[in-house]
Copies of this chain bind each other. A is one copy, B any other.
């Protein structure tokens, strides 16, 4: 019989060390330096102004994590680190550590046992869903490269659209991508004022500023008007209780034209809640960082949508992403009677 070891457990316990190594690599920008030809400990240490010993330990640890290759004391990027972790790459997403390991999120996970006890975020009263929480500016900036494939997939699903409402727009890219494919369409984007500054810049850069309007405020309160034929809820509902999700969905229902379509982008685990690993694991982030958010399953989202006057959603996985897009239609009034 194979000797049992506590390796699975120790791997989990030592996870913090992996976070630390990943963050140090981004903060010192070692992938970018290696991409530029620094391929030894000495040359990376010189480029980063860090110690020889520290860089040696860091590069070897990154090799153990399979984020670098090492041969004959020379280091090379893997295909993944070349595409996502070299700051010169258009798909660079290393700054996601600024959100994933922000002081707020670190503090939330250092108090995770208490979150399990009380069933939600244990440090401040409202967690990340507190009004104008500072974390969302970093999030919008850091997540843009990760969100882009989701935004493109959503825009392709949306097809022809005239009037878009983008809820908690963040970087704004979900609405902007639809505007780019619909030259006559207009978009109203709701988010906290500090976040909207970043979205406004992105809209201008995309050349759609004249058809894009930011509406600063709380998505549960702000009045966007009516007549939208596409409402976007990207990575939003998971932060809230089912009751709050239904309240939001009913508000969206009222803002939409008959047969208008709702696009909900989410991490959706299977009904067993333990596969696939990324959306299943996402429940820990919601427990740690929000009072009542969750990684809801498809039946749970379906129930919320139907209770709010929408059809059962069609489900569309986003290629190369752990997220899916749910598309629902506003039910015609006569079906509600």
Binding site for B on A (CB under 8 A): 3-24, 27-28, 48-58, 60-61, 63-67, 70, 78-81, 83-85, 93-94, 96-97, 100-101, 106, 109-110, 112-113, 115-120, 146, 272-274, 277-278, 280-281, 283-288, 294, 319-321
Report whether B20 and A112 are in contact in the complex, using a CB–CB cutoff of 8 Å: yes
Report whether B118 and A6 are in contact in the complex, using a CB–CB cutoff of 8 Å: no
Report whether B22 and A106 are in contact in the complex, using a CB–CB cutoff of 8 Å: no
Report whether B12 and A21 are in contact in the complex, using a CB–CB cutoff of 8 Å: yes
7 interchain residue pairs of minimum CB distance: A51-B119, A15-B15, A15-B18, A54-B116, A20-B112, A53-B119, A20-B109
Give the Cβ gap from A113 to chain B, nearest Cβ, in Å: 4
Report whether A5 and B80 are in contact in the complex, using a CB–CB cutoff of 8 Å: yes
Q: How far is the CA of A321 from the CA of B118 in the complex (A)?
A: 37
The quantity of this chain's copies bound in the complex is 2
- 8 residue pairs of the A-B complex, CB under 8 angstroms, read A6-B80, A9-B80, A17-B281, A19-B109, A27-B113, A51-B116, A54-B115, A63-B280
Residues of B within 8 A of A61 (CB): 280-281, 283-284
Q: How far is the CA of A54 from the CA of B286 in the complex (A)?
A: 10
Report whether B23 and A13 are in contact in the complex, using a CB–CB cutoff of 8 Å: yes
Report whether B14 and A100 are in contact in the complex, using a CB–CB cutoff of 8 Å: yes
Q: How far is the CA of A286 from the CA of B65 in the complex (A)?
A: 17
